[in-house]
Amino acid sequence: MTVGGIYFSMPGNEAMASALAKRSHGNLGVLEHRRFPDAESYVRLASDVRGMDVTIVCTLARPDPQFLPLVFAADAARDCGAASVALVAPYLAYMRQDARFSEGEAMSSASFARRLSRSFDRIVTIDPHLHRHRSLDDLFDIPVHVAHAAPLLANWIAQNVNDPLIIGPDRESEQWIAAVANQVGAPHVVANKNRRGDRLVETSLPDLVQFAERSPVLVDDIVSSGRTMIEAARLLAAQGFAKPYCVIVHPIFSGNAFAEMLDAAQCIVSCDTISHVSNGIEVVSLLG
């Protein structure tokens, strides 16, 4: 993270860019973006960047339309004489496509990382989805600084839920779910999940009878279709539990996911890595 420097916001990231500029005593630059009639992007840095450390803030929740304007902005900064160009992407997209499951499939995480590495000198992000890759260093050719939201999630749970039982979505989440539970001083379990399709997950939970008096709290790094949490909530109900609290790092909520989850949950709270009505946990302190 640059101390001082100049911060630009890609559309939709104004609040985060302004908070970061304030925290790091930097300046807020002006970036103009609009679409030409043919839908191509026009990008202009309307602030002088010569000799400056430039940070562009762009959470990548909708990466396909966001990517080209972002690269244009980074290239413009470099062409205009910036000393360095960094990206703050609280949510880093495409990290889940980390294997070739069928012949000929794009391994999007590696492709995306290669392209970002060409445009930026470094990246700052929060809890990227790492499953088969142990570290982002396996993917990126530039330094990537990773911050973790687990302590913030744990604080929220400790302040808002009595006698919680922390529940992780799958076995891969065990380590960080355990860290959250440990900080809260609560027990934890993880589900066994098999994804059969974009909107089809098969999940099983252990017998939770010993935790019957506790409040279930589902914790996940990403909610996209919502199927993982909705299925877990259904299994909890089958064991006689009340509707769960749902605590999320990256609230993508595609399509009707949020409305569907409102029916299944007692309360939904997310980090503001992506701007959403469920935001209740601020992450700017992790990035500054």
Residues that bind ligand R5P (CB under 6 A): 169-170, 201, 220-228
* Secondary structure element (H or E) that encloses residue 9, with its range: strand 6-9
Q: Which is closer to ligand R5P, CB of 8 or CB of 253?
A: 253
**Closest distance between ligand R5P and the C-beta of residue 277, in Å?**
17
**Closest distance between ligand R5P and the C-beta of residue 192, in Å?**
12
**Closest distance between ligand R5P and the C-beta of residue 190, in Å?**
11
With a CB cutoff of 8 Å and minimum separation 6, the contacts of 177 are: 166, 167, 168, 188, 190, 219
Tokens of 69: 């304007």
Q: Which is closer to ligand R5P, CB of 34 or CB of 62?
A: 62
DSSP state at residue 39: S
Q: Which is closer to ligand R5P, CB of 25 or CB of 171?
A: 171
Beta bridge partners of 251: 223
**Closest distance between ligand R5P and the C-beta of residue 79, in Å?**
37
Distance, CA of 179 to CA of 151 (rounded, Å):
8
Q: What is the DSSP string of 40-94?
A: -EEEEE-S--TT-EEEEE---SSHHHHHHHHHHHHHHHHHTT-SEEEEEESS-TT
What does each C-alpha distance from 247 to 61, 83, 92, 152, 183 come to in angstroms?
A: 18, 39, 19, 11, 15
Q: Which is closer to ligand R5P, CB of 73 or CB of 205?
A: 205
Q: Which is closer to ligand R5P, CB of 72 or CB of 91?
A: 91
Contact 153, 281 (CB under 8 A): yes
What does each C-alpha distance from 20 to 38, 86, 90 come to in angstroms?
A: 34, 13, 12
3-state secondary structure 181-239: HHHHCCCEEECEEEEEECCEEEEECCCCHHHCCCEEEEEEEEECCCHHHHHHHHHHHHC
**Closest distance between ligand R5P and the C-beta of residue 209, in Å?**
25
**Closest distance between ligand R5P and the C-beta of residue 259, in Å?**
14
Q: Which is closer to ligand R5P, CB of 220 or CB of 272?
A: 220
**Closest distance between ligand R5P and the C-beta of residue 27, in Å?**
36
**Closest distance between ligand R5P and the C-beta of residue 261, in Å?**
9
Q: Which is closer to ligand R5P, CB of 197 or CB of 240?
A: 197
Number of Cα atoms under 13 Å in the Cβ half of residue 21: 21
Q: Which is closer to ligand R5P, CB of 53 or CB of 220?
A: 220
